[in-house]
Amino acid sequence: MHDGLRITGGEHRGRKLFSPPKNTIRPASDMIRQAVFNMLGSDILGVDFYDVFAGTGVVGLEAISRGARRAIFVENSRKQIQLIERNTKHVGVWDQADVRMADAFLWGRHFKANGGPTIVFIGPPYELFAEKETEKTLGLVERVQNALRPGDLLVFQFARQVSTDRLPRQEGWYRLRQYGKSQVGLWSIPDPDAPKAASDDGIDDGIDERSIDNETDEGSTDDESANP
């Protein structure tokens, strides 16, 4: 069991989780996970929460702890799938977990939200933000965006070197924040009746640059994955 890998809030706050061998994957820090769920607030209650590139499963487990109806874990590594299953049983939420062994990019081609409210968290490993891979990763984000319905939410954790100008469907992004080497943004289908946000230079680009906060993630490392 990893001394530092734990659930940070909700019913199972403080519960320690099993983690993979050292230096194989690096779970997102407590600070980033707390920031994500603070941004979501009460929107997490009763939703189907998709943890894509799930790794240890800590993000989806935290979603359940904080009130999600269930978590769907998407992960392509058999070892990580076994770890997720072990952690869901350890926390006692196996009946709220749907663990799927699948390549995230293939999964994204067929993703359809269920009938209830849905939040999708996409936190790829940082190697998927190398220049040749970034467009592929952003393509996955756009496919998920196109499958969501009004009221659903997308959370994207991505590398700081990726410009927010490259994010697909610019008009729906908000609460873009930076934490060390990571950025986090929320996206939802924009309300056509709501006024569009404008950047500080007066150009209406759909993203309110004033919502981009800079915060230091003291728990991050240079090679930390965007998601566990």
Domain range enclosing 66: 30-215
Per-residue pLDDT for 212 more than 70?
Answer: no
DSSP string, 151-169: T-EEEEEEETTS-GGGSSS
Cα 108 to the center of its chain, rounded Å: 14
Q: What does R_g of the chain's alpha carbons equal in angstroms?
A: 17
**Do 59 and 34 form a contact (C-beta atoms < 8 A)?**
no
Q: How confident is the model at residue 178 (pLDDT cuts 50, 70, 90)?
A: very high
Q: What's the number of domains the chain is made of?
A: 1
Per-residue pLDDT for 211 more than 60?
Answer: no
Q: Is residue 190 part of a domain?
A: yes
Q: Is residue 137 part of a domain?
A: yes
Count the Cβ atoms, other than its own, within 10 Å of residue 42.
Answer: 8
Report pLDDT digits (tens) over 76-92: 999 999 999 999 999 99
Per-residue pLDDT for 193 more than 50?
Answer: yes
Written in H, E and C, the secondary structure of 44-89 is HCCCEEEEECCCCCHHHHHHHHCCCCEEEEEECCHHHHHHHHHHHH
Residue with tokens 């994207």: 156
Per-residue pLDDT for 3 more than 70?
Answer: no
Residue with tokens 């499958």: 147
**Do 55 and 227 form a contact (C-beta atoms < 8 A)?**
yes
- Please provide residue 129's backbone torsions phi and psi, each rounded to the nearest 5 degrees: -110, 10
Q: Is residue 152 part of a domain?
A: yes
At 61, which CATH number?
Answer: 3.40.50.150
Q: Is residue 131 part of a domain?
A: yes
- For the stretch 166-178, what's the b/e string if a residue is b when 16 or more beta carbons lie within 10 angstroms of its beta carbon? ebbeeebbebbbb
Q: Is residue 224 part of a domain?
A: no
**Do 190 and 170 form a contact (C-beta atoms < 8 A)?**
no
Q: Is residue 223 part of a domain?
A: no
pLDDT, average across residues 112-140 = 90
Amino acid at 199: S
**Per-residue model confidence (pLDDT) at position 210:** 33
Q: Is residue 220 part of a domain?
A: no
Report pLDDT digits (tens) over 128-159: 888 778 999 999 999 999 999 999 999 999 99
**Per-residue model confidence (pLDDT) at position 224:** 43
**Do 113 and 50 form a contact (C-beta atoms < 8 A)?**
no
Tokens of 16: 């320690």
